[in-house]
Amino acid sequence: MSPETQAATIGRPPGFVFRNSNSGRSGVHVSELYCEGVSVAALAKRYGTPLYVYSGSMIRERYETFDHAFRDLPHTVCYSVKANSNLSILRLLAKVGCGFDVVSGGELLRVLAAGRRAAKRVVFSGVGKTQEELRAALKAGILLFNVESESELSAVAACAQGSRKNAPVALRVNPDVAAETHPYISTGLRQHKFGVPLREARFLYAKAAGMPYLSVRGVSVHIGSQITDVAPFRDALSRVAELVRELRRDGHQIDYVDAGGGLGIAYDKPEPSDFSRCAASYAQAITEPLRSLGVRLLLEPGRSILGPAGVLITSVIYEKANDGKRFLVVDAAMNDLLRPALYGAYHEIIPVRSNPVARSQVVDVVGPVCETGDFLARDRELPEVKERDLLAVLDTGAYGMVLASNYNTRPRPAEVLVTGKSVRVIRRREKISDLLRLEL
């Protein structure tokens, strides 16, 4: 793979680009991966591997691009905290006025730690909110509860009455819209655990309106994640728009429509156009059915903001061959990046230093965990690399570190945030002593 090809693969300024490096011993020109103004190889040398590296400028740019795409309709962008919940990243987003979508009490506490004023821009989603979590959200004064069942509606009402605090609610409706994505992250069909059927919505809204301390404020919908065709979003919001009209005819005040998130990214190739075009197409599909309703739109992007803004750096430990089958054993494993093992997900993998005359090889990139499912790539064509060389696993800013575990008693990686030439450790590398500390 030539430097030009690699630059096309990862050339997403201002985040990750290849720059000319010194020639090798043979005089061959070599290119080196940079995160903004900092050498990725230098980061690996200083902080070790596996290592998550994020571009602060890229996070801000993608958030602002997404926000700008919806400029023609009143809206609030509520970043989906489950995509990447690092406190420094939440603080970065809070400072530019972003709201947040949380799905647990722990995520709510993270948002409050990042900036207490952000509570007014928080929506609380999820099918299994506990009473402790509900009380915490009421105390914080969040923007909206996205209620997902009749039982939860009663629980919110009870907690609100006990706290003597008004609870603003929206019902998450299930529009029964199919989306082309992995079945584990599809959420908009009737066989999924999320939301209430559209046909039951009017009954539940009437019930909510009769409950003290509940304030019906909106309608919520979310059909899944990693969706790259905007048509399902348009279909879902068209059904929601009709429901809003019905609810208003029933006498309900509907101020908000929460359109959820789900906009996908191109893991296996560069984005077909710049992100602004992708965001604009998504915005048009979402807003077209809602323009005449006079509602405030709530949006929950996660992956589309953070995904391309992060990479996982890993070192090659061993080269190995079994009867012609070739393996690269690296120091990152399924506990560091679960998506390939969990979903069979594809992540582009490239050498941190590119040699244009390197031969290509077909390999499995695997980790040290004692599972056959511990792989980052299978039958992947890569430029030939050697032991101790560095590889970058791309598009791991979302659902990377947040899904990491300590399986095989492996400490989780460090995380660093780069802005220009400034580098900050935003999570230190765990030690074995950290893992043992809570055990008796």
CB 430 within 8 A of CB 411: yes
Sequence-distant (≥ 6) Cβ neighbours of residue 285 within 8 angstroms: 230, 231, 233, 234, 237
b or e along 187-212 (b: 16 or more beta carbons within 10 Å of the residue's beta carbon)?
bbbeeeebbbebeebbebbeebeebe
Token pair in block for residue 387: 């032991």
Among candidate residues 78, 159, 278, 370, the one labeled active-site is 370
b or e along 357-391 (b: 16 or more beta carbons within 10 Å of the residue's beta carbon)?
ebeeeebbbbbbbeeeebbbbeebebbebeeebbb
CB 121 within 8 A of CB 101: no
Q: Is 78 considered catalytic here?
A: no
Q: Tell me the backbone φ, ψ of residue 424, rounded to 5 degrees.
A: -125, 135
> What amino acid positions are annotated as catalytic residues?
370
